[in-house]
Structure 1
Amino acid sequence: MSTWIAGCIVLMVKMALVLGVLLFLAAYLVWAERKLLGRLQVRLGPNRAGKFGLLQPIADAVKMLCKEDIVPDAADRMIFLLAPAVVAITALMMFAVVPFGPPIILWGREIPLVISDINVAILYVFALSSLGVYGVALGGWASNSKYALLGGIRGAAQMISYELALGLSLIPIVMLSRSFSLVDIVNAQSGYPFILVQPVSFAIFFISAMAESKRIPFDLPEAENELGAGYHTEYSGMRFGLFFIGEYVHMQVLGALVAVFFLGGWRGPFLPPPVWLVLKIIFVALVMIWIRGTLPRLRYDQLMEFGWKILIPASLVNIVITGAVILI
């Protein structure tokens, strides 16, 4: 019984630490994005709340909590209220299988630095990613607004299309590591990171990950000049905040997956392993922000053609070549 209680305590501590770090990074990624985009566009960005605007995320959180939560009269109330939670919770749950360090010895027990090391972790990630589509689609449909509905339909089509390329891009990684476990994939990169031998997989995965997270130039579900705000047009208060948090947590999850699959995960010299993983997540997120401030938005037909006619064929060809090289 004491072993069972100790295991539960360790699990709860790991979950609390991961959740706290994720929410803290999500808040300050918003600040970093606004400051970096301000510099790219020759303006200041947030600079009033605290020195350098560092208290702006706290001010925004207070504002969201104090705003009135409005539900349109013609909306499907139950689905309208639940949709933002689906987006945020699925994004948070994906981090349960991400390893943030090698096992450590504490009080004579080996404690793995991952919430749950399951042998089908990649399938778990894709399952939750697929569920995230429901939050976007149902949020747009339940609002009973044509602009929100168009955003929800676009979001569902885009996420389903690019999820296929995302999954195909990881098959060479599974072939090289011979495992679906993220822990095993990181251990397989002890000699070199997989980005050195699979640059095509990396490029396809990174582009598809940006499309999955609905970031510019793939933000057609939220296109302001066409749809107002897309699938979350009718949301206000903290329910809009949940969509917002879900987007930035999703950025971190995708940054963690890029690090795990292609950058060696938590591996690196001099610094503790969890610090290396966090630095790689921040680096990937900053590259996404940089791309947002650089590239224009695609047209919707260009977006879909790029996914179906370029990324998916390229990923299939890469799978064949990788298999041939491994056999040879």
Structure 2
Amino acid sequence: MIYKLIELSVILALLIPIAAMLVWVERRLIGIWQDRLGPNRVGPFGILQSLADLLKILGKDEFTPKFADKVIFIAAPVIAATTVLMSFVVVPFSDTIGISDLNIGVLFFLAMTSLAVYGVVLAGWASKNKYALLGSMRAAAQTISYEVFMGLSVMGVVLITGSFNLRDIVVAQQDGWFIQSQLIGFVVFLVAGIAESHRLPFDLPEAETELTAGFHTEYSGLKFALFFLGEYLGVTLISAMSVTLFFGGYLPPGFLPSEWANMIPSLVWFIGKVFILIMFFILLRTSLPRPRFDQLLEFGWKVMLPLALFNLLLTAVLKLTGVIGGVHA
């Protein structure tokens, strides 16, 4: 029990600085891809820019509007950040590192991502601001819609492995990553993950050109920092779950000789895969335009839902006919 508490404390203590450093990584990579410098003044290569931004945010006035519902206004960003942090509880970071080995790990992850929308909706409602309210309504419609497709997209993996346990799912990929048989499921999961984390091009709940800042228009200081933290933790979470479900988790690539693969710790393999997916998230921000909100929902129900159902049906047929096997826990 003491070991698990220490492990939990260490993982949480590392996740928050990692999310802060992602701000610098994103700005540097966008600068490279757009042929400009990016942050390069504070520290070597601008690496201390995130710390400077944090100090600036924490130095701002903790303003709560007089017309806001103060209790809910303060609770909303805490809910948004806490639900994302809770989702990391079931992620197996390596063959020995992982906070909880829940038998319902996939369901727990889906439940936490569903609860995250409460923080956004409550923030918009408690602000008593029309732009914040519109942003929160967009977030609710977007999140509730795309979590349906996200849940269906992982059911193919569950069918193959016969388990909701994330560590069992990783072990089942020893003979081949699920990206080979679940390519459609991965695409649906990734698109749904982008929509769930409100990242470009699906950042419509906080579209600056339309809603000033969306659901967090009235937020500043530490409360705004919690929303900011939740967003970047969400990117890390979706990347970590994509790696766990479709890219073998902490397992090395199968094409490498075992003596070479075993030279690198399983945690390093996991972090490397997650970082590659995070870079893909960042690349999307620099290359895709933002759709209209009606186009986003139409795309979800008319394209993502049929694809997710087709993938589930195809996986079930292939499993019954013995074309693809599975590892039963």
- Alignment TM-score, normalising by the size of structure 2: 0.93
CA distance in 2, matches of 1:121, 1:277: 18
Percent identity of paired positions between Structure 1 and Structure 2:
48
CA distance in 2, matches of 1:39, 1:150: 35
SS across alignment from 1:179: coil
SS across alignment from 2:248: coil
Q: Is residue 12 from structure 1 mapped to residue 12 from structure 2 by the alignment?
A: no
- Determine the structure 2 residue equivalent to 1:301: 294
Q: Is residue 259 from structure 1 mapped to residue 246 from structure 2 by the alignment?
A: no
TM-superposed CA distance for 1:297, in Å, is: 0.3
- Determine the structure 1 residue equivalent to 2:28: 35
How many residues end up aligned between the 2 structures? 312
Q: Is residue 275 from structure 1 mapped to residue 268 from structure 2 by the alignment?
A: yes
TM-superposed CA distance for 1:226, in Å, is: 0.2
Q: Is residue 284 from structure 1 mapped to residue 268 from structure 2 by the alignment?
A: no
Q: What's the CA shift string for 1:79-128, capped at 9, x where partnerless? A: 0001000010000010000011123xxxxxxxxx2111111111111111
Could you tell me which amino acid in structure 2 is paired with residue 239 of structure 1? Answer: K
SS across alignment from 1:194: coil
CA distance in 1, matches of 2:18, 2:193: 19
CA distance in 1, matches of 2:202, 2:227: 17
TM-superposed CA distance for 1:42, in Å, is: 2.8
**Equivalent of 1:315, from 308, 312, 319?**
308
CA distance in 1, matches of 2:209, 2:42: 29
TM-superposed CA distance for 1:276, in Å, is: 1.3
- Determine the structure 2 residue equivalent to 1:182: 166
CA distance in 2, matches of 1:80, 1:45: 34
TM-superposed CA distance for 1:321, in Å, is: 1.0
- Determine the structure 2 residue equivalent to 1:214: 198
- Determine the structure 2 residue equivalent to 1:84: 77
**Equivalent of 1:172, from 134, 156, 176?**
156
TM-superposed CA distance for 1:20, in Å, is: 2.2
Aligned-residue CA RMSD (Å): 0.9
CA distance in 2, matches of 1:307, 1:35: 32
SS across alignment from 2:199: coil
**Equivalent of 1:231, from 215, 235, 258?**
215
Q: What's the CA shift string for 1:3-31, capped at 9, x where partnerless? A: xxxx2x20121112211221121111110
Q: Is residue 69 from structure 1 mapped to residue 62 from structure 2 by the alignment?
A: yes
> Pairwise mapping of residues 40-119 of structure 1 onto structure 2 (< 5 A)?
40-103=33-96, 113-119=97-103
CA distance in 1, matches of 2:137, 2:30: 28
Q: What's the CA shift string for 1:150-173, capped at 9, x where partnerless? A: 000000110010000000001100
**Equivalent of 2:125, from 113, 126, 141?**
141
Q: What stretches of structure 1 move > 4 A for 4+ residues in a row?
A: none
CA distance in 2, matches of 1:247, 1:226: 20
Structure 1: gaps of 5 or more residues: 1-6, 104-112
Structure 2: gaps of 5 or more residues: 253-260, 322-329
SS across alignment from 1:114: coil
CA distance in 1, matches of 2:289, 2:36: 19
CA distance in 2, matches of 1:218, 1:29: 19
Could you tell me which amino acid in structure 1 is paired with residue 164 of structure 2? Answer: F
**Equivalent of 2:143, from 159, 164, 174?**
159
CA distance in 1, matches of 2:89, 2:82: 11
> Pairwise mapping of residues 235-254 of structure 1 onto structure 2 (< 5 A)?
235-254=219-238
Q: What's the CA shift string for 1:119-159, capped at 9, x where partnerless? A: 11111111111110000111011111100000000001100
SS across alignment from 1:119: coil
CA distance in 1, matches of 2:166, 2:65: 43
CA distance in 2, matches of 1:102, 1:218: 34
CA distance in 2, matches of 1:281, 1:90: 20
CA distance in 1, matches of 2:272, 2:33: 22
